[in-house]
């Protein structure tokens, strides 16, 4: 299966462990990633300033993806997934916007049909690749590991536009983790925001939000937190120590991308999955995982 992939800005520049692990694991599931040429920002940073420009930035990326002829456009970043999905929804439901976008796209020699399906890592693996295929790819199950998940806000809401998972009770990431052999615990704070949206305007509040959630998770005695969003991962992983200082509590919780965990069960080495780039104490999780491997 071939799938076009839009990485956005954050994954290739800051959170490239996500890209490394996704590139390492997807071919082993029979997925060939088609990189897009000439892409731009998803438009998210300027939504509140110029909605028209934001929609155009998103739609031109979708038009570039359609040129590949693939059925699906994989967008691993939650924020980018939201931006592209919202823009396509606006385009489909607003004839006036369609006319304006057609003019802009025509200047670049682009056309938009709107038929490509935008998917995130979670629903692509869960719904299209399927849990059975994921389970078959596992060589070293994580039996005995106790983990929790964090889906993130921007693939769940607004639910009238997005269809990755149930916005009130998301379960697909949990299902995917269980497919690797680990136990998944539920916890009351599962839908709490990571705080990334406040990082530029109120950084102290932002890291306090992420640290408060991490404190609750750490109190469960789990082996780690699994996520699939670069912004959320940055808050929980790279800014874990900063958050700990903000709330005055020692945090030591391993945080990994789902694709990193998937790669470990496939028998891939940690460096190929970008685990050397994680800033949370992932060595604790790796040690526990090694003990569970047959």
pLDDT in tens, 154-185: 999 999 999 999 999 999 999 999 999 999 99
Structure confidence at residue 160 (pLDDT): 94
Whether residue 124 lies inside any domain: the answer is no
Each residue's pLDDT tens digit, 52-93: 999 999 999 999 999 999 999 999 999 999 999 999 999 999
What digits encode the pLDDT tens for the residues 41-54? 999 999 999 999 99
Pair (30, 148) in one structural domain: no
Q: Whole-angstrom Cα distance, residue 95 to residue 200?
A: 35
Are both 74 and 115 inside the same structural domain?
A: yes
**pLDDT (0 to 100) of residue 291:** 80
Tokens representing residue 31 in the block: 């997925």
**pLDDT class for 292, splitting at 50, 70, 90?**
confident
Give a yes or no: residue 126 inside a domain.
no
Please report the pLDDT score of residue 152 as a whole number.
98
Same domain, 136 and 215: yes
Count of residues making up the chain? 294
Alpha-carbon distances of 55 from 10, 48, 83, 87, 89, rounded to whole Å? 19, 11, 8, 5, 10
CA distances from 206 to 78, 144, 231 (A): 18, 33, 12
What's the pLDDT score for residue 269?
A: 95
pLDDT tier at 7, thresholds 50, 70, 90:
very high
**Is there a single domain that holds both residue 287 and residue 183?**
yes
Instruction: Give the pLDDT mean for 191-205.
Output: 97
Domain closes at, from 63, 91, 119: 119
Together in a domain, 280 and 151? yes
Number of domains within the chain: 2
Domain containing 241 — which CATH number? 3.40.50.11810
Residues 139, 201, single domain; the answer is yes
Q: Are residues 149 and 227 in the same domain?
A: yes
Residue 220: give the domain boundaries: 131-292
Say whether pLDDT at 101 is over 90.
yes
Nearest to 181 by CA among 227, 226, 134: 134
* Mean pLDDT for all residues in the chain: 98
CATH of the domain at 31: 1.20.1050.140
Answer with the one of 69, 95, 119 that is the final residue of a domain.
119
| This prediction's pTM | 0.97
Give yes or no: residues 147 and 278 share one domain.
yes
Residue 290 has pLDDT above 90, yes or no: no
Q: Is 144 left (phi over 0), alpha (psi -120 to 50) or beta?
A: left
Q: What is the pLDDT of residue 20?
A: 99
SS3 content of the chain, % helix, strand, coil (to 5): 50, 10, 40
State the pLDDT at residue 103.
Answer: 98
Beta strands per DSSP E along the chain: 2-5, 32-35, 72-74, 117-119, 146-150, 183-184, 224-227, 255-257
Count each helix (H run) and each strand (E run) in the chain, helices first: 13, 8
Strands of the 72-74 sheet, one edge to the other: 32-35, 2-5, 72-74, 117-119
pLDDT in tens, 106-155: 999 999 999 999 999 999 999 999 999 999 999 999 999 999 999 999 99
284-291 average pLDDT score: 89
Is the distance from CB of 111 to CB of 118 less than 8 angstroms?
no
Flag whether 222 is in a domain. Answer: yes
pLDDT at 282: 98
Give yes or no: residues 286 and 224 share one domain.
Answer: yes
* Residue 115 sits in the same domain as residue 259: no
Residues 68 and 140 in one domain: no
Same domain, 147 and 52: no
pLDDT at residue 169 in the model = 97
Q: How far apart, in Å, are the Cα atoms of 218 and each of 9, 143, 204, 240?
A: 30, 20, 21, 12
pLDDT at 293: 74
| Residue 278 within any structural domain of the chain | yes
Q: What is the mean pLDDT of residues 214-233?
A: 99
- How would residue 232 be classed by pLDDT, with cut points 50, 70 and 90? very high
3-state secondary structure 138-175: CCCCCCCCEEEEECCCCCCCCCCCCCCCCCCCCCHHHH
**Other Cβ atoms within 10 Å of 22 Cβ, number:** 27
């Amino acid at each position: 299966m071939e799938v076009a992939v839009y990485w956005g800005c954050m994954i290739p520049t800051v959170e490239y462990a996500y890209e490394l692990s996704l590139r390492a694991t997807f071919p082993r599931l029979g997925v060939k990633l088609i990189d897009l040429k000439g892409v731009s920002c998803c438009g998210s940073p300027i939504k509140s300033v110029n909605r028209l420009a934001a929609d155009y930035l998103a739609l031109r990326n979708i038009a570039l993806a359609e040129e590949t002829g693939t059925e699906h456009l994989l967008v691993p970043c939650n924020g980018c997934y939201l931006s592209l999905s919202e823009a396509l929804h606006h385009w489909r439901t607003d004839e006036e916007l369609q006319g304006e976008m057609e003019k802009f796209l025509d200047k670049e020699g682009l056309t938009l049909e709107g038929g490509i399906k935008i998917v995130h890592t979670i629903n692509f693996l869960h719904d299209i690749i399927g849990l059975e295929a994921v389970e078959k790819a596992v060589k070293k199950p994580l039996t005995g590991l106790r983990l929790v998940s964090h889906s993130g806000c921007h693939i769940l809401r607004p639910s009238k536009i997005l269809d990755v998972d149930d916005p009130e009770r998301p379960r697909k990431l949990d299902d995917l983790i269980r497919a690797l052999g680990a136990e998944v615990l539920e916890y009351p704070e599962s839908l709490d925001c990571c705080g990334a949206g406040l990082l530029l305007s109120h950084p102290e509040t932002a890291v306090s939000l992420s640290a408060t959630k991490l404190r609750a998770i750490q109190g469960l005695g789990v082996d780690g937190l699994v996520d699939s969003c670069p912004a959320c991962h940055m808050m929980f992983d790279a800014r874990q120590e900063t958050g700990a200082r903000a709330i005055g509590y020692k945090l030591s919780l391993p945080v990994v991308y789902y694709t990193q965990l998937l790669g470990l069960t496939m028998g891939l080495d940690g460096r190929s999955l970008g685990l050397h780039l994680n800033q949370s104490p992932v060595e604790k999780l790796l040690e526990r995982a090694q003990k569970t491997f047959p």
